[in-house]
Amino acid sequence: MVTAAMARTTLCVCVCLLASQVATSHVPEKINRTIHNLLQHYIPARERFKGQPVFSRDLLGTKLEAKEVLLSAALQTYEELIQRMLKELPGDESADVRADLSYVLERVQHLRRFRFQEQDKLLEGLHTFQHIQVDNELIRSKALWELPWLYEEASSLANKRRQRRRRKAKWPRTFQTESEAH
């Protein structure tokens, strides 16, 4: 009986360890392998490490919300990049390269569409605001007309943020005083 219980416990521990290992791995092994194949097909390693990286890690060292928006933009760039690579692939190119690129594209699209919907919506809004036709006279006049409420929104939001920060900075001291009083 003791041996059977021990065996069950050992089995449970093994399953738990395996599950935790699976849970901490976010990149499917197939992606790493596929990217490795693609890199071998494209440019040799010595070229790859020249100069600055494309996606700077420093830029991503920011607070959670900003990091999510930046990662969403990076995934969007990867989608465009791989789609172009697929489009420019010669017809006689190995079917393996096409399959590899398609697989990586599918994983990137899946991650972006199912996990970064909120950030994608923000990026769409930014695109609209950043691509306003500032040369068009009617657009200029309408934009000027809309400036007072937008200025009001921006100023009040900035003030709210500052007040919130001040409250947050004060909070532990107040809390300590209250705790001491009780």
With CB under 8 A as the contact rule, the residue among 5, 26, 168, 177 that binds a copy of itself is 26
With CB under 8 A as the contact rule, the residue among 6, 11, 42, 167 that binds a copy of itself is 42
Site for a copy of itself in 141-170 (CB under 8 A): 141-148, 150-159, 161
User: What does the block give as tokens for 74?
Assistant: 């990076």
Q: Which stretch binds a copy of itself (CB under 8 A): 13-21, 44-52, 165-173, 174-182?
A: 44-52
CA 9 to CA 70: how far, in whole Å? Answer: 45
User: What does the block give as tokens for 55?
Assistant: 């996606």
Phi, psi of 62 (to 5 degrees): -130, 180
Query: Of 9 and 56, which CB lies nearer to a copy of itself in the complex structure?
Result: 56
Q: How far is the CB of 181 from a copy of itself (least distance, A)?
A: 22
Which residues are CB-contacts of 78 (< 8 A; sequence separation ≥ 6)? 108
Q: Which stretch binds a copy of itself (CB under 8 A): 4-12, 13-21, 35-43, 167-175?
A: 35-43
Which residues are CB-contacts of 17 (< 8 A; sequence separation ≥ 6)? none
Phi, psi of 53 (to 5 degrees): -70, 160
Q: Are 93 and 45 in contact (CB under 8 A)?
A: no
CA 128 to CA 103: how far, in whole Å? Answer: 31
Site for a copy of itself in 45-104 (CB under 8 A): 47-48, 50, 53-56, 59-60, 62, 64-78, 80-81, 84-85, 104
Q: How far is the CB of 3 from a copy of itself (least distance, A)?
A: 38
Query: Of 98 and 111, which CB lies nearer to a copy of itself in the complex structure?
Result: 111
CA 51 to CA 111: how far, in whole Å? Answer: 29
Query: Of 55 and 171, which CB lies nearer to a copy of itself in the complex structure?
Result: 55
Question: Which residue do the tokens 């697929």 mark?
Answer: 86
Query: Of 74 and 98, which CB lies nearer to a copy of itself in the complex structure?
Result: 74
Q: Which stretch binds a copy of itself (CB under 8 A): 7-15, 29-37, 90-98, 169-177?
A: 29-37
